[in-house]
Amino acid sequence: MVAVTGPATAAPQDPAAAAALAASKADALVAGRPSILHAGSNETFLRKKVIQSSGLNYVPYERTYNGLPVRGGDFVVVTDSAGRTKYTSVAQSSPIGELSTAAKVTSTAAAATAQAQLKTVDSVEGTNLVVLAEEGEQAALAWETTVNGTGAEGASRLTVAVDAATGRVLRTTEHVTEAAGTGTGWINGTVSIDTTQSGSSYLLQDPSHTTIRCQNASGNTTFSGPDNVWGNGSGTDRETGCVDAFYVAQKQYAMLSSWLGRNGQNGSGGAWPIRVGLNDQNAYYDGTQVQIGKNTAGQWIASADVVGHELGHGIDDTTPGGISRSGTQEFVADTIGAATEWFINNPNDAPDYQVGEEVNLVGSGPIRYMYNPSLAGDSNCYSSSTPGSEVHAAAGPGNHWFYLMAEGTNPTNGQPASTRCSGSGAITGLGIQNAMKIMYNAMLIKTSSSSYLKYRTWTLTAAKNLFPNGCTEFNTVKAAWDAVNVPAQSADPTCTGGGTTPPPTTTPPPPTGCSGTNATDVTIPDAGAAVNSGITISGCARAASATSTIAVNIVHTYRGDLRVDLVAPDGTVYNLKATSTSDSADNVNTTYTKNLSSETANGTWQLRVQDTYARDTGYINTWTLTV
């Protein structure tokens, strides 16, 4: 990833001219084949539609290899209104190299393998030859087939990549995602909706954006009627469910335009048909439609956060890189669902950061809690196992991060408090609109290599680009990621414009005066001299405790390189962690207990860290001393 500094300027009056300028400048950059693209002589680039948001232009590209589409070769060039490159995000981390495009396995055999991945198959959309070049993996020639039917978890629309040399399944991608007339919904109450008149009857179809419509899942027929009055308020009535869903879709369309400058859910002025009648405790988006199911009481689950979430998958699907991956797709959609609910602000479904609280899916309340995912059995904190978890459970750390970014640790607007996974210090939220703007602009930098670690870098980059005159927003995004244990990345930007770098998240000492925190980042030089981070204790007129604690959070890509010591005010050194040539894990995030009773508590204590081996880097993130 390449970041090019330069002040943002006011956007031209004509958005089309700005988009054309961005495309021209991006094309010129790409024509030079900078090393960040990892481009070979057999590769060409196809520019897609320029996406504009908040005065920035996002120019996405796809790649071909000897004329074949490359899956994983996508990238995005970000420019300001003057066409200057602000950032480049690339899915590939290494060149494709020389690759034969002659398949040894037939397309028919590959399609049969793809169909075998489902329990039942209703249709096959076709089979195409592609180059699979996922980040960190050796490129391969593959047959790509999309099949529709039923999988182990229910309805499925599955794209299967089969190695064209061996017939082995290389990758599967599931597209099915889980979770002015007047109408009366069972959730939203009596609402106003824009419908289409057709002769003497009316349709539940947006008159300006005809792909936004609500249908009966039995036959996929758009609801129609003679009087432009819809629904009866019963949650088990399909037309009533459609009133709720259609209302949410139209309101979300307005939110996307007002808050984000996006032209509809699909980015081109429309969306996908919403179909009410799925006979399952579920709702899903599959790239062609949104299906709405029912709760265990038989009521259609068309609340703002559920419908907003499913349409959010479509928004994710139609931004660069496609549906987010590596355990991030559900939290991404949850953020869009929450923003939709807050924008609508319907008193019958008051905005909050619970998911599905109105629909009561299986009779046990909300499906997820963004401020405290553990209330639904999901993890609040990121770990190395998160990307491999079930996708809804994997949403926990991302939802927690978004809540901290939007509302902070101690909101003053009636929303619940939220705790940190590590570190200390209060976080003050940016508000739902700014949080969603940062999230959406990160999605516009997204590539097919998306992950929690990439989203940390992308959201920091988005905050820096969107708010160039200060570091408040940047610092809040960073503090929220730190708080849910998503570690810093070498590609993370820094911020110096009118704020501090890194972000301060210090906490005032408690009344006893016997504890302190230093959350100012200190870079640890690779195989270099030791560095110190100090905490001054005062007002603690006694000896230090025999059970003093030192809570340490160090971000580093090979913690075995590190020696960590506590240095008392009189210079006495207490070793906390020795070096190890076999400890290859990331980061030091633990609390040490030491007998410091021979020391006077008051004075300046130092955390001393030294990197004793080459090639891995990091920094002291935060530490807390309690004596």
Query: For residues 542 and 597, is the Cβ–Cβ distance under 8 A?
Result: no
Q: How far is CA 590 from the centre of its chain?
A: 27
Q: State the Cα torsion 17-18-19-23 to the nearest 10°.
A: 100
- C-alpha span between 491 and 463 (Å, rounded): 15
**613 HSE (CA, 13 A, CB side):** 17
Beta strand pairing status for 368-369 and 214-216? unpaired
Marked catalytic residue, from 310, 407, 473, 599: 310
Q: How far is CA 343 from the centre of its chain?
A: 20
DSSP E strands in 111-220: the ranges are: 120-132, 140-151, 154-163, 169-174, 181-185, 189-193, 196-198, 201-203, 214-216
For residue 156 the two structure tokens come to 């499925």
Q: Pick from 295, 301, 297, 325: which is nearest to 313 by CA?
A: 325
**Ramachandran sector of residue 244 (left: φ over 0; alpha: ψ -120 to 50; beta: rest):** alpha
> How many distinct helices (H) and strands (E) make up the chain?
9, 32
For residue 108 the two structure tokens come to 């028919």
Query: For residues 386 and 456, is the Cβ–Cβ distance under 8 A?
Result: no
State whether the Cα torsion 29-18-45-136 is positive or negative: positive
Marked catalytic residue, from 392, 407, 473, 556: 392
62 is catalytic: no
- C-alpha span between 373 and 387 (Å, rounded): 16
Question: Angle CA(207)–CA(210)–CA(211) in degrees, nearest 5?
Answer: 150
392 is catalytic: yes
Query: If residue 335 lies in a helix (H) or strand (E), which one and from where to where?
Result: helix 329-344
State whether the Cα torsion 97-60-84-2 is positive or negative: negative
For residue 586 the two structure tokens come to 């990331």
User: Residues 39-61, buried b or exposed e (16+ Cβ, 10 A)?
Assistant: beebbebeeeebbbbbbbbbbbb
Question: Alpha carbon of 107 to those of 157, 162, 220: distances in Å?
Answer: 19, 9, 32
For residue 575 the two structure tokens come to 């070793």
Which DSSP letter does residue 258 get? I
Owner of token pair 């927003």: 473
Q: Which residues form the catalytic set?
A: 310, 392
